[in-house]
Amino acid sequence: MAHKNYPIVVIGGSAAGLTAGITARRHYPDKEILLVRKEEQVLIPCGIPYIFGTVGSPQKNLIPDAVLEKNGIDLLVAEAVDIDREAKVLQTTGGDVGYERLIIAVGSRPAMPPIPGFDLDGVYTVVKEVEYLGDLQEQLETSKDVLVIGGGFIGIEFADEINKTGDKQVTVVEMLSHCLALAYDDEFCAEMEEVLESRGVNIRTASKVEKIAGNGKVEKVVLADGEEIKADLVLVGIGAVADVDLAKKAGLRIGLTGGIAVDRTMQTSDEHIYACGDCAEKVSFFGGRPSPLKLASIATLEARIAGANLFGIRRENVGTVGVWSTAVGDHALATAGLTERMAKERGYDVIAVAIQGPNRHPGGMPGAVDTKVKLVFERHSGVILGGQVSGGPSAGEISNIISACVQNRMTAEDIAMFQTGTHPALTASPIAYHMVNAAEMAIKQMQECGG
Amino acid sequence: MAHKNYPIVVIGGSAAGLTAGITARRHYPDKEILLVRKEEQVLIPCGIPYIFGTVGSPQKNLIPDAVLEKNGIDLLVAEAVDIDREAKVLQTTGGDVGYERLIIAVGSRPAMPPIPGFDLDGVYTVVKEVEYLGDLQEQLETSKDVLVIGGGFIGIEFADEINKTGDKQVTVVEMLSHCLALAYDDEFCAEMEEVLESRGVNIRTASKVEKIAGNGKVEKVVLADGEEIKADLVLVGIGAVADVDLAKKAGLRIGLTGGIAVDRTMQTSDEHIYACGDCAEKVSFFGGRPSPLKLASIATLEARIAGANLFGIRRENVGTVGVWSTAVGDHALATAGLTERMAKERGYDVIAVAIQGPNRHPGGMPGAVDTKVKLVFERHSGVILGGQVSGGPSAGEISNIISACVQNRMTAEDIAMFQTGTHPALTASPIAYHMVNAAEMAIKQMQECGG
């Protein structure tokens, strides 16, 4: 059968696929690239919760296709059906395409807990499709009691956005003892719960959903302790699972957490096929064990590795540090690397220090917000393992400073000697710069312990 | 003569002196520390321009003395007069004090250009004293035409704050072709000039002041090209010179730029005397040549070195990267390391790449501001030499990320692999994160040149 051949074919048009295509274009300027995706329009994944309050509609949260054209990447809107690895042909609902190198970047699907009632009308997950989310938005317009299952960042961002409309009761039900407990130490989680509650969102932590009940349409949610919460719309945001249907069908190896197995170069078990993003297996920067994290920023990093390595290895993945942030109103939380709890659970002997104070100087400057930075160090080496920030919008970039420190395996001593720039209207004072003082306090603790 | 002896004496109560005292306390918990300063109250140095608009009065811009008490540091308000280095006694207007180790952190004085008319009433410099600035504030209340000599960051911050009151004509006269030209590449300077002009500040660049004229009180400023500008108040903000009176009197060595000579441990030519902050000589992180930079953030770094090294060397100064930021209204500029022009002037073969785009995603998110990040790399090694940022308030912390990259001598390849966290409400998108894309573009340019 005659079909078009491309040196480079990318499957998936979101953060990973698009970035893989752009990166391939940068490194292989003369090779033809085809991007195959099933969606007519691609949503900005991290922006999805904000569709329902701040941004207004799925149409205002799209990745523009102009970037494909600008990078000379052909587009085929079709579903990838199978891969003939022998012949190096991708079979799609829009026809066959030959490839020399293939990148699988098909992402993830919402996780579905095995709880009765998920098939009722009015139960939604976070499907990254314009039409599905448009339908959810329409349903929300007439909803009164919204229940969000899962208090991770997707759950709380959705809850707050939906609550913003002001005419609904919004409740978040979280199984763990705190919202965001998988990413932050308790004191940061508690802060965010307070912010959510002060804005009118109801929070039920340490609560397990037993079933979703209703007659055709959802009417209530029943918790494990017997409590019933009225609900005419339920949103499930408990995480995502790698989409490996195509990879499995093609006989590619699958990893320990269920993603497509890749080595540090992002090559799959087939040397002509790469994978990146939510569909690819990940390992942690810390110790190299499997990591379940799925974030758009991890996806783009992996895509920059895969896209550059197609015809000659030049980049390796050192493992996922885990850097990300969330915001509710003006309150932001951001994290990079291990929390104190995670580090201890993994067996590290740690020193953790938190420094609190305004992010402006003097504290009377406009925009001043009480800001907390907590850094976690390995006790004997002094190497930073991670840090968390709460405060104003700059928290997001502060966690990126921490990420730079972690990736360079800087010690508390290095960070105490870190040369920062400071300004009254933009940052904490040079005397009270959080990260530097946290490092100094950690050094003091190490000395006191004879370390 | 009987006098009190202290193991540690610090002269100076601003950013350097205070931080030196706090650091000494952390590292030498059992030693008595005395801080000697001449001011009753100490101003936050970087906050001084903001006294005149945003903050409201010198009294709202003070470093609280509580921090001394909290750290168990004794205070003597008196002027240091001389040092008997043989006897290890500091002579002050409040009596003599014996020391084992002395830290000189007496700061700088405003530079005064040799232009006629500086003695007229109504001519001010930026003296860091509550009374002096209170007098300036009073004079400003009745001024109509304010002229600021010097378009560095102090000059433009003062100009904008004074202009905010709305009832004055404010003009900045800058000798170089652009305001901020010593710290930013032209395109960033031009941006800030536009912002200032849009807010009503008059800017005269490439203009030299010939004289200040008036009958007892300033009436006008005459430029070198003959133009006369009406002025009833003139503020001179052309930089600062190290205060080395005490050091010279005590016979300490003075450095090439006029500061107290120190080695990398911040020791002066007397092994029992350290110096830090604006009064101490500095060298650049790049090549080690003398650096004229004077910033509170550099002062505090040097103080953390001096304070820790007093009774045993444990820290060394790698030289000044030069990290700092400024803001006018909502527009911030921030820089770390060398600009493209500075790098070229110093003989580096560079690749410079600027990436522009919103600092939120989608671009319709509240708070989204067009943001530009320019990174400068050494062509052959790919090592980052510096970067500049313009945009919203987060620019300040973004320059601190760049600083971390510079201090770790990261390459463009390292930065392309940098693991960032991103969030719709806090940062650029992971696909369009400025620093990472600037690094990728630089790599592409290096490859195209066969580098």
The C-alpha of B405 sits at a distance from chain A's nearest C-alpha, in angstroms, of: 7
As a whole number of Å, the end-to-end CA separation of chain A is 70
The pLDDT, as a whole number, for residue B392 is 96
| Positive or negative: CA dihedral A228, A229, A234, A238 | negative
Give domain status of residue B317, yes or no. Answer: no
Q: What is the C-alpha to C-alpha distance for residues B1 and A432, in angstroms, rounded to an integer?
A: 40
Whether residue B169 is found in the same domain as residue B254: no
Q: What is the 3-state secondary structure (H, E, C) of chain A?
A: CCCEEEEEEEECCCHHHHHHHHHHHHHCCCCCEEEEECCCCCECHHHHHHHHCCCCCHHHCECCCHHHHHCCEEEEECCEEEEECCCCEEEECCEEEEEEEEEECCCEEECCCCCCCCCCECEEECCCCHHHHHHHHHHHHCCCEEEEECCCHHHHHHHHHHHCCCCCEEEEECCCCCCCCCCCCHHHHHHHHHHHHHCCCEEECCCCEEEEEEECEEEEEEECCCCEEECCEEEECCCEEECCHHHHHCCCCECCCCCECCCCCCECCCCCEEECHHHECEEECCCCCEECCCCHHHHHHHHHHHHHHCCCCCCCCCCECCEEEEEECCEEEEEEECCHHHHHHCCCCEEEEEEEEECCCCCCCCCCCEEEEEEEEECCCCEEEEEEEEECCCHHHHHHHHHHHHHCCCEHHHHHCCCCCCCCCCCCCCCCCHHHHHHHHHHHHHHHCCC
A213 touches chain B (CB under 8 A): no
Q: Is residue A344 assigned to a domain?
A: yes
Q: Does some domain include residue B321? A: no
CA angle A257, A183, A126 (to 5 degrees): 65
Interface test with A, best of B44, B419, B435, B441 (most A CBs within 10 A): B419
With CB atoms and an 8 Å threshold, state whether B421 touches A400. Answer: yes
Which residues of A have a catalytic role annotated? Answer: 46
CA distance B190 to A170: 49
Q: Which residues contact B215 (CB under 8 A, 6 or more apart)?
A: none
Contact: A422, B320; criterion CB under 8 Å: no
Secondary structure letter of residue B223 according to DSSP: E
Instruction: Identify whether residues B61 and B17 lie together within a single domain.
Output: yes
Q: Are residues A441 and A339 in the same domain?
A: yes
Which residue among B323, B364, B398 places its CB closest to the CB of A397? B398
Closest residue, chain B, to A332 (C-alpha): B426
How many whole angstroms separate alpha carbon A199 and alpha carbon A218? 25
Tell me how far apart the alpha carbons of residues A438 and A444 are, in angstroms, rounded to a whole number: 10
Residue B116 and residue B67 in one domain: no
3-class SS at B207?
A: coil
Q: Which amino acid is at A357?
A: G
CB A190 within 8 Å of CB A96? no
Contact B54 A420 (CB under 8 A): no
Q: Do the beta carbons of residue A130 and residue A217 sit within 8 Å?
A: no
Assess whether pLDDT exceeds 70 at residue B113.
yes
Which residue from A72, A50, A69, A71 is spatially nearest to A61, judged by alpha carbons? A50
List chain A residues with CB under 8 Å of B418: 403-404, 407
Q: Is residue A73 situated within a structural domain? A: yes
Q: 10 Å Cβ neighbour count for B122?
A: 20
Question: Does residue A73 have a pLDDT over 50?
Answer: yes
The span from the CA of B96 to the CA of B1, in Å, is 9
Per-residue DSSP letter, B261: P
CATH of the domain at A303: 3.50.50.60
pLDDT, tens digit (0-9, with 9 covering 90-100), for B190-232: 999 999 999 999 999 999 999 999 999 999 999 999 999 999 9
Domain shared by B398 and B375, yes or no: yes
Q: Rounded to a whole number, what is the distance in Å from the CA of B29 to chain A's nearest CA?
A: 10
Q: Are B210 and B223 in contact (CB under 8 A)?
A: yes
Q: How far apart are CA B90 and CA B80, in angstroms?
A: 7
Average pLDDT over residues A270-274: 98
Local confidence band at B450 (pLDDT 50, 70, 90 cut-offs): low
Taking an 8 Å cut-off on Cβ atoms, the answer to whether A397 and B325 are in contact is no
Q: A441: nearest CA in chain B?
A: B26
CB-CB neighbors (< 8 A) of B70 in chain A:
none
| Distance of residue B1 Cα from the nearest chain A Cα, in angstroms | 37
Name the pLDDT band for A450 (thresholds 50, 70, 90): low
Tell me which residues of chain B, numbers 49 to 108, contact chain A at a CB-CB cutoff of 8 Å. Answer: 50, 54-56, 60-63, 67
Q: Which tens digits make up the pLDDT trace of B401-430?
A: 999 999 999 999 999 999 999 999 999 999
Same domain, B286 and B331: no
> Which H or E element spans position B160?
helix B153-163
Total domains present in chain B: 3
Same domain? For B270 and B292 the reply is: yes
- A322, part of any domain: no
How many Cα neighbours within 13 Å face the side chain of A432? Answer: 21
All residues at 6 or more sequence positions from B142 whose CB lies less than 8 Å from its CB, including other chains: none
Residues of A in contact with B361 (CB under 8 A): 44, 46-47
Nearest by Cα to B23 from B299, B259, B284, B264: B299
Bond before B362 cis per omega within 30 degrees: yes
CB contact under 8 A, B422 and A296: yes
pLDDT in tens, A96-112: 999 999 999 999 999 98
Indicate if A277 and A350 belong to the same structural domain.
no
State the pLDDT confidence band at A1, using cuts at 50, 70 and 90: low
Query: Structure tokens of B243?
Result: 């205060």
**What is the residue range of A23's domain?**
4-109+241-309
> Are both A404 and A335 inside the same structural domain?
yes
Whether the CB-CB separation of A27 and A307 falls below 8 Å is answered with yes
Sequence-ordered list of residues with C-beta below 8 angstroms from that of B243, at least 6 positions apart, any chain: B106, B107, B108, B109, B278, B279
The alpha carbon of residue A55 and the mean position of all alpha carbons in its chain are separated, in whole angstroms, by 19
The minimum CA-CA distance between A306 and chain B, rounded to whole Å, is 12
| Average of per-residue pLDDT across B139-155 | 97
- Taking the C-alpha atoms of A158, A161, A166 and A170 in order, what is their torsion angle to the nearest 10 degrees? 10
CB pair distance less than 8 Å for A362 and B315:
no
pLDDT of B6 strictly over 50? yes
Structure token pair of residue A151: 């208090």
> Is the Cβ pair B421, A297 closer than 8 Å?
yes
Per-residue pLDDT, averaged over A57-63, amounts to 94
Please indicate if any CB of chain A lies within 8 Å of the CB of B437: no
Answer whether B16's CB lies under 8 Å from B107's CB.
Answer: yes
B329/A contact by beta carbon, under 8 A: no
8 Å CB contact between B340 and B346 = no
* CA gap A382, A380 in Å, rounded: 6
Are B337 and B265 part of one and the same domain? no
Choose, out of B431, B437, B445, the residue to mutate when testing the contact with A (most A CBs < 10 Å).
B431
Shortest distance, CA A144 to any CA of chain B (angstroms): 26
Q: Is B118 helix (H, G, I), strand (E, B) or coil?
A: coil
Residue of A nearest to B442 (CA): A26
- Verify that A197 and A249 share a domain, yes or no: no
Residue B217 belongs to a domain:
yes
Going by pLDDT thresholds of 50, 70 and 90, the confidence category of residue A451 is very low
Q: Do the chains contact at B404 and A408, CB–CB below 8 Å? A: yes
A363: domain CATH number is 3.30.390.30
**Checking DSSP bridges between strand B95-104 and strand B4-11, what pairing results, if any?**
parallel
For the entire predicted model, the pTM comes to: 0.96
- pLDDT over 70 at A9, yes or no: yes
pLDDT, position B451: 46
What stretch of H or E contains B324?
Answer: strand B323-328
Joined together, the tokens standing for residue A322 give 């885990």
Q: Taking CA B35 as the corner, what is the angle to CA B32 and CA B37, rounded to the nearest 5 degrees?
A: 165
Check CB contact under 8 Å for B424 and A47: yes
Q: Which residue of A has its CA nearest to B23?
A: A440
Domain boundary among A211, A238, A265: A238
Last residue of a domain, one of A197, A213, A238: A238
Predicted pLDDT of residue A62: 94
Residue B339 falls inside a structural domain: yes
Contact (CB<8Å) A325/B427:
yes
In a domain, A314, yes or no: no
Inter-residue contact A105 to A277 (CB < 8 Å): yes
CB atoms within 10 A of CB B296: 26
Copy the structure tokens of residue B308: 């820790």
> Are B130 and B36 contacting, i.e. CB atoms less than 8 angstroms apart?
no
Tens of pLDDT, residue by residue over A292-321, are 999 999 999 999 999 999 999 999 999 999
- Which distant-in-sequence residues (6+ apart) come within 8 Å of B175 by Cβ? B206, B207, B208
pLDDT digits (tens, 9 = 90+) for A31-41: 999 999 999 99
- Report in angstroms the alpha-carbon separations of A331 from A61, A193, A196, A435, B397: 22, 11, 10, 19, 17
Name the B residues in 252-311 with CB < 8 Å from any A CB.
Answer: 285, 295-301, 304-305
Question: How far apart (Å, rounded) are the C-alpha atoms in residues A279 and A258?
Answer: 9
Instruction: Yes or no: say if A159 and A204 are a contact pair by the CB < 8 Å rule.
Output: no
What are A389's strand-pairing partners?
A334, A373
pLDDT in the model for residue B396: 97
Does B334 sit within 8 Å of A425, measured CB to CB?
no
Q: Which of B251, B275, B309 is the last residue of a domain?
A: B309
B285 backbone φψ class: left, alpha, beta (φ>0; ψ -120 to 50):
alpha
Q: What is the dihedral of CA A243, A246, A247, A249, to 10 degrees?
A: 130
Pick from B60, B361, B433: CB nearest A44: B361
Tokens (6 digits) for A6: 């491309």
For A168-213, the pLDDT digits (tens) are 999 999 999 999 999 999 999 999 999 999 999 999 999 999 999 9
**Are B60 and A361 an interchain contact pair (Cβ–Cβ within 8 Å)?**
no
Give pLDDT tens digits for A370-415: 999 999 999 999 999 999 999 999 999 999 999 999 999 999 999 9
The predicted pLDDT at position B180 comes to 97
Question: Mean pLDDT over all residues of chain B?
Answer: 96
Residues in chain B with CB shorter than 8 Å from the CB of A447 are: 27
- Burial pattern B10-45, b for ≥16 Cβ within 10 A else e, equals bbbbbbbbbbbbbbbbbbbeebebbbbbbbebbbbb
- Give residues with Cβ within 8 angstroms of B303, minimum separation 6: B15, B16, B17, B18, B19, B20, B23, B103, B105, B276, B277
Do B433 and B330 fall within a single domain? yes
The answer to whether residue B135 scores a pLDDT higher than 90 is yes
Q: In which residue are the tokens 């002269």 written?
A: B11
CA angle at B154 for the pair B260 and B303, rounded to the nearest 5°: 35
What is the predicted pLDDT for the residue at B254? 98
pLDDT by residue (tens digit) across B70-108?
Answer: 999 999 999 999 999 999 999 999 999 999 999 999 999
